[in-house]
Amino acid sequence: MANLNVNSTKTQYKNLRKFTIDYFFVRHGKYRYDNPEQAKNSPLAQQIFTLSYVKTVFIAENFVAVEILEENLWENAEKQIKSILKAFIIANNKTINEEPKVFPVEVYTQMDPNPGTLKFVANKKLVLQNVKYDFNKDFSESPFAAALFEFDYVKRIEFEHNFVKITKGGAVQWDDITMELREFIRNYLMQGKDILLNQVVGELDLK
């Protein structure tokens, strides 16, 4: 597994800090736990609550936010929380134990300077690193790219943050395929399927 880059940032609340990581903890939804009892469905939150000074744990996409009881505890708390996050990711544990859900996702299109390319923008983060694939090259690390290349007019795919850019080939017109692609992308994302098989990048800094 690649190393991880854990960034701790202060928030407007002195007792709350955000730990952002190049790793998807959850694909959909936001989770808040105010005590260990509430965290029964989250192995990660349970581990963080083993620290006696932890008051609240928030989990969403590629970050975890932790509220502690006293601001002056941050010097040690930051190191301990980062250590827990590192160990959790290395162990490849499941963040939330619950039945898969279908979450609403919106997708809209934007024009690209290249008339053969169209951008499909989602209201959620798709990737942590930009990647691109051509239909005649290896795209085995991306189940989403593989699914999109099933459309014979799709020739190139680029994933960036919250959108996918698709370059078409042949004489097919956007008016004839945009709705089909938009609905396919929306349904794929709503089911929480993998976009990339490995979205862990960077270097972990526990200083």
The reply to whether 168 and 120 lie within a common domain is yes
The reply to whether 186 and 120 lie within a common domain is yes
Q: Is the pLDDT of residue 170 over 90?
A: no
Query: What's the confidence (pLDDT) of residue 206?
Result: 39
- CATH number of the domain encompassing residue 52: 3.30.1370.70
The reply to whether 17 and 85 lie within a common domain is yes
The reply to whether 128 and 168 lie within a common domain is yes
End-to-end CA distance of the chain: 20
Strand partners, 110: 119
Residue 198 neighbours by CB under 8 Å, 6+ apart: 2, 141
The first and second tokens of residue 131, run together, are 């990647």
Q: Is residue 102 part of a domain?
A: no
The reply to whether 21 and 82 lie within a common domain is yes
Confidence of residue 207 (pLDDT cuts 50, 70, 90): very low
- Cα 186 to the center of its chain, rounded Å: 16
Sole residue written with tokens 């709705």: 179
Tally the domains of the chain.
2
Q: Is residue 50 part of a domain?
A: yes
Three-class secondary structure of residue 151 per DSSP: coil
Query: What's the confidence (pLDDT) of residue 185?
Result: 97
Confidence of residue 94 (pLDDT cuts 50, 70, 90): confident
Confidence of residue 99 (pLDDT cuts 50, 70, 90): low
What is the C-alpha separation between 29 and 56, in angstroms, rounded?
Answer: 17
- Cα 121 to the center of its chain, rounded Å: 15
- Is the separation of the CB atoms in 89 and 4 below 8 Å? yes
The reply to whether 39 and 71 lie within a common domain is yes
Give per-residue pLDDT as tens, 129-154: 899 999 999 898 999 999 999 999 99
Q: Is the pLDDT of residue 195 over 60?
A: yes
The reply to whether 133 and 83 lie within a common domain is no
| Portion of the chain with pLDDT greater than 90, in percent | 69
**Domain boundary, last residue among 63, 90, 117:** 90
Task: Quote the pTM value.
Answer: 0.74
The reply to whether 69 and 114 lie within a common domain is no
The reply to whether 41 and 68 lie within a common domain is yes
Three-class secondary structure of residue 133 per DSSP: strand
Confidence of residue 200 (pLDDT cuts 50, 70, 90): very low
Q: Is residue 195 part of a domain?
A: no
Domain range spanning residue 177? Answer: 107-190
Q: Is residue 122 part of a domain?
A: yes
Q: Is residue 143 part of a domain?
A: yes
Q: Is residue 178 part of a domain?
A: yes
Q: Is residue 1 part of a domain?
A: no
Q: Is residue 29 part of a domain?
A: yes
The reply to whether 75 and 116 lie within a common domain is no
16-21 and 30-33 beta bridge pairing: unpaired
What is the mean pLDDT of the segment spanning 113-135? 93
| Closest-CA residue to 128 (of 10, 20, 12) | 20
